[in-house]
Structure 1
Amino acid sequence: MARPLAVLVTVKPFFKFRWREIGFISWVGLRGAVPIVLAIFPVIGGVENASLYFNVAFAVVLMSLLIQGGTLPWMARWMRVEIPVGVTPNHRGPLGILPENDYEMFVYKVDNQDLDDVPIRLLRFPSGAVISALFRQHAMLHPKGSTRLKLGDVICVIGRSDDLPALNRLFSGDAKLKQERAFFGTFTFDGAALMRDIAGVYGLTLSPGESDMTLGEFVSLRVGGHPVVGDDVDWHGIHWVVSEMKGNEVTRVGLRLY
């Protein structure tokens, strides 16, 4: 009970964490090197029963690591603080052709069941992206429109960074898309959108000084100034969820109605 109470007293009054996040922080207080080092001091000082104290401390640390550490994924899902894992390129790198907005090579592995045995010509590719190579069982194929994809294929795509969202959606599959939409919301907004425009569309009320803020600045302010992907703000019954960041700047915000 000591750690949950300590977290409640020292974290909740000063940071805008939700109760389920407070619960998760309370659970992940793993005991490690510090208790073991402190337990060594009685041994060094020749205190009576020092070995017993050290063994007890070591056992507590070990049990904490096994029980708390082993249940972290389950606890994150139960507390609903786990961020869905989306699909990103396995590898990416610029081609070095243009000085600005250069083309890049994106490498994806076909794990989406919906793409199995689908001809390349039927893929909903971004207009500026093309497949440059396809590898199957360590052999390079020359892809054509009639080439059918197989699970495990590795695809090299040439495109620009603006093509990444569409490519990631293409290779992620419906199941992962549903998970992402359930967490981040069906709609997303640019973090640079002005709050007065969003408030006008949805009929929301802004406090003085908020109308000139961008959505990213607004969310950053509401979460305490240090946002991370997955942070959300409950405002007017709508959850505004940080879905993408660039450095310390919020670039995309999702809208979730529950």
Structure 2
Amino acid sequence: MKGVESFGWVVLGVSLVVVAAVLSNRISDRIRIPAPALFLVGAAIASDLFPTLASMRVQTVQNVVTVALIMILFDGGMGIGWRHLRPNAGAVLWVGVAGTAVTAAGIAAFAHLILGFGWQVALLLGTALSPTDPAVVFSVLGRREIVGRSGVLLEGEAGANDPVGIALMAVLIGAAGLTGGHAVGHGLIEFLRQMAIGGVAGVAGGWLLLRLMRRIPLPSEALYPIRTLAFAAAVYGLATICGGSGFLAVFIAGIFVGDANAPYKREIERFHSAVASLAEVVAFVVLGLTVSLRDLPKVDALWPGLIIAVVLTLLVRPLLVGLISLPVKLRTGERIFVLWAGLKGAVPILLGTFAFTAGIPDAQRIYEIVFIVVTFSVVVQGGLAPTVAKWAKVPMRSTELEPWALGMRFREEPTGLHHYRVGTGSTADGTTIADLPVGENLWISMINRDGRLVQVAHNTVLQAGDEILALIDTDTDTDTDTDGNDPGKIFTAASDR
């Protein structure tokens, strides 16, 4: 019976943590501190107060956070989708890869030349702190959603630089015993190999998953999201054992199926969003338990960590990533916000744990410094993100909750039925339905405006933010009307195309 009682305490503790995670968003909205910061610091304090909580092995921590990242990256890819990423794919790839490289190089140079770290430690610090996490930014924006290219760029950059940063760290650790040109050559080949195999595995896995989702029915609605979750994990595993970046493969697979039509797609998306939110909490809590706040002064990590955090926030990312992003077309305010919103999250701390498993000298100090930088980034940068967004006039729209739904289910895919959102400054914005430049084979059947139905009539004026359900005659073409116009471009703002 003692074993049952002990397990009951475990269940009670885990349940209370999950409840606290759900309620933390309300607290975060009030105090303007991202919820992940509360769990990260709270777990670190708990590990000092109750030392038994910090007994988890580093390898176990890495495994738990890896599983969490699979869920987070797959959901992030689904949230972007190929349709939204396609116009910005070049910018995302450039900023995600080149931005990661220059950030790692900038931090490493500062840590070596100014703070006096050895090159190995400096490069490990730079690589660990190069990935970003926009989920922290979006958590403090509350029910406001970034509109336009800047939001896609932030999400896409994080999705790209997480696998890039992890691959760079693996390359650095793998080349630790090499010197000179051998180390550079080995590192470059290994990095390109991981990216190539991960990319191919992601495209192939996404293509196959989409076919399964569309063509193989399951006996229960509840099994559909479980199938996609299991398949995402399989894509990671296959890419990893083939020597590629499993994280990149998962992210690409998510993008591939993100905006594609499939049975029970809405339920699948909601399930993955909930799982990813829980996975983020688990990752921050587990990583926070590995940190001892009491040891920060002993390993001389506090001041170096704060100095690196300030330099990274005010110099390295604005200057180096700012130069890299100059070819990307953004308004000045949006560019400032993108550079400010390059927050650090769970991935840098995960990368810091690699120093332990690789037996790197001074690993404890590296890990503590990374923790301090991430905490500073989440609390200070994340807390000021709404203020910077308002000052920079970043276009946003309200995303109030809509608890009521009305709809129909079909046994076959309803071809010709399309969902659009009227973009600010689009052709449809401020135009009556009768004056829309579409042919006679498109009918608007429903308009959702701020959570309320709007009567559909010839003189109804559409507004930015309206959600439109439109039916296109499939006897002509599912994507264009009789005049050859693409309705998607009519409802979408020019800056988002």
TM-score for the superposition, normalised by structure 2: 0.21
Between Structure 1 and Structure 2, the one with more helix by share is 2
- Computing the radius of gyration from Cα coordinates, the structure with the larger value is 1
Between Structure 1 and Structure 2, the one with more strand by share is 1
Q: Which has the higher contact order (CA 8 A, sep 6+)?
A: 2
